Amino acid sequence: MNIYTYIIRRLLYVIPVLLGVCAIIFVLFNLVSPDPTLIMLGKHASVKQMAELRAELGLDRPMIEQYFDIVKSAFTFDFGRSWTTKQEISEMIKAGALPSLTVTFPAFILATVIAVAISLFVAFYRGKFLDKSVVLLCVALMSISSLAYILFGQYFFAFKLGLFEISGYEQAFPDFIPYVMLPILILIIISIGPDVRFYRTVMLDEIYQDYVRTARAKGLGEKMILFKHVLKNAMIPIITFVVIRLPFLILGTLLIESFFSIPGLGGITLNAINSSDFPVIRAMTVLSAVAYIIFSVITDVLYTLVDPRVRLG
């Protein structure tokens, strides 16, 4: 089977998966969640008022039609209008995607490169004081709430030292750069702990494989083994870890965007939650599900490029 046939086959598998995901989303938003008209009008609303609002929002239509609306939105990305702002949700997503990516994408790339480099370094000194110190530091970094990093960064680095902007955002390039530097730095610090622990574990799993012992027996140096053999063979779990996280870059980060007043998708989602704007929340849920499924297919294809032992099937 060639790679093009495999991609088409995997994309066909996406259809039933997406239909199932849409069914779960439909159940969560239409059957399990409380009546949105009651939330919007308050507990003192009359039955007539609730019925009128349900008709206005299209909630009185047959359930099967509402389900297929979700399915349609997953394939067309037409999510309707926001109940709160009355804007087209697709336009809101387009407007919020770039601000989110200006923060999350640089932070993700830098955190990944730094974490892999540190993991190779500590794997070289495995079991020694440096390795144990880095592991202890990673646990310490993971133990601190992300909210604490945000508040400390804004107060100390932005307010006290004046090194960064406290909050705000400019749409034009490069005007937005001063506003995203501190959020990027905070995201890197938040990511380093779990990333280094994961990559270190992957590296150590490979180091204790038979092929590494064979390479040592042939007289290869430890650095050559790490960079030429261990890193190459560790790429499958690394690719899985990296690619599966990519969809969440698009959706932004709720706390970071909220505290730094960045008009990204994270802030849009948080505002929708606060105002019970169900169409926006549902749109973000559908978007994240579609992105996750698509990037899962991309991950499977990338496996074959980095490891010839993986066969298409």
Average pLDDT over residues 221-247: 81
Angle between the N-to-C axes of helices 89-124 and 278-306, in degrees from 0 to 180, rounded to the nearest 10 = 40
pLDDT score for 312: 59
Residue 279: pLDDT above 80? yes
| Confidence band for 136, pLDDT divided at 50, 70 and 90 | very high
Residues found in the chain? 313
Residue 286: pLDDT above 80? yes
Which is nearest to 279 in space by CA: 26, 53, 83?
Answer: 83
More confident residue, 72 or 8: 72
Average pLDDT over residues 76-81: 89
Which is nearest to 243 in space by CA: 187, 177, 183, 303?
Answer: 303
Tell me if residue 81 falls in helix, strand or coil: strand
Cα–Cα distance for residue pair 76/200, rounded to 1 Å: 41
Which is nearest to 21 in space by CA: 191, 29, 245, 55?
Answer: 29
* Topology classification of domain 89-276: MetI-like fold (1.10.3720)
Q: What is the pTM of this model?
A: 0.83
